[in-house]
Amino acid sequence: MAVSKAVIVAGGSSRRMNGIDKTFAIIAGKPVIAHTLLAFQQAPSVDSIILVLPKEKIGKGWSVAKRYGISKLSAIRKGSRRTRQQSVANGLRAAGKCDIITVHDGARPCVSIDSIERSIAEAAKEGAAIAAAPAHETMKRVGPEGYVQETIDRSTLWSVHTPQAFRSEILLKAHRSGIKGATDDAMLAELSGYKVKVYADSYDNIKITTRKDLGTAESILKEREAEITRRAGLQASR
């Protein structure tokens, strides 16, 4: 059976959060990172989790994992404040031998179990696969002086999310390639010569970047929880 591991990256500085630590901010009754970890804990295909945090928050990460029963968490590694690429690389060093590695942003607490499972299945089949949502607004290319240069056909544009999953040898080779400046692991794989499969993800899988996003994510999670409760009630009444 294929072994699948997840690297969850939360090594950033939250500099656009006006003093709020988005990783441990409370939404829908739990820290943001707890929601993220729980999704991977509950995903059947994930065998173990490596969490990447700033050095000073590693102890806090273990405390959250213990409180919320994240038994799949096998390691917490120090993140890089300079680049996400380096943070992922630090997490990969703790992954050990496996078949599939999934990389996910710790600041995406609304990720669904279905999306995680889809990423792993697609990576096993295609080699590399990423979650994304089709662009739904008109897109324009704007020049340096602020004038529209062209309107871009949005049917070919997708907003890229995580999870991003890879056969382990592909992701490891991409990280060892020496390529710098990749904004995500998919870009690193692309620049290393690999094809990356895109699968449709929910628009709810938002990344928390500003304080306003905390409220949006909380609304999504509470609505999801209410729907689960409603369905459970319907099942019980039958």
Mean pLDDT of the chain: 94
| Per-residue pLDDT tens over the stretch 81-136 | 888 999 999 999 999 999 999 999 999 999 999 999 999 999 999 999 999 999 99
Question: Quick one: pLDDT at residue 17?
Answer: 66
Question: Quick one: pLDDT at residue 31?
Answer: 97
Helices (DSSP H) in the chain: which residue ranges?
Answer: 32-42, 58-67, 84-92, 113-126, 168-175, 185-191, 211-237
Question: Quick one: pLDDT at residue 192?
Answer: 96
Span 64-87, average pLDDT: 95
More reliable by pLDDT, 229 or 162 = 162
Q: How many CB atoms lie within 10 A of CB 234?
A: 9
- CATH number assigned to the domain comprising residue 165: 3.90.550.10
pLDDT class of 66 with cuts at 50, 70, 90: very high
165 — phi, psi (to 5°)? Answer: -120, 150
Question: Quick one: pLDDT at residue 176?
Answer: 94
Spatial CB neighbours of 8, under 8 Å, sequence gap ≥ 6 = 33, 36, 37, 40, 49, 50, 51, 52, 91, 103, 104, 105, 106
Checking DSSP bridges between strand 26-27 and strand 30-31, what pairing results, if any?
Answer: antiparallel
Look at residue 238 and tell me whether its pLDDT is greater than 80: no
Count of domains for the chain? 1
Span 127-149, average pLDDT: 96
* Rounded distance between C-alpha atoms, residue 159 and residue 134, angstroms: 6
Q: Are 179 and 193 in contact (CB under 8 A)?
A: no
* Rounded distance between C-alpha atoms, residue 38 and residue 122, angstroms: 22
Token pair, residue 16, equals: 């656009």
| Per-residue pLDDT tens over the stretch 163-188 | 999 999 999 999 999 999 899 999 99
Span 191-210, average pLDDT: 96
Question: Quick one: pLDDT at residue 10?
Answer: 95
Question: Quick one: pLDDT at residue 61?
Answer: 98
Q: Are 114 and 205 in contact (CB under 8 A)?
A: no
Look at residue 15 and tell me whether its pLDDT is greater than 70: no
Which range is least confidently modeled, 36-40, 108-112, 217-221, 232-236?
A: 232-236
pLDDT class of 16 with cuts at 50, 70, 90: low
Name the strand (E) or helix (H) holding 105: strand 100-105
CA distances from 208 to 120, 193, 212 (A): 23, 31, 8
Span 1-28, average pLDDT: 85
Question: Quick one: pLDDT at residue 158?
Answer: 96
Q: How many Cα atoms within 13 Å fall on the side-chain side of residue 171?
A: 35
Look at residue 1 and tell me whether its pLDDT is greater than 80: no
pLDDT class of 209 with cuts at 50, 70, 90: very high
Checking DSSP bridges between strand 100-105 and strand 158-167, what pairing results, if any?
Answer: antiparallel
For residue 221, give its domain range.
4-237
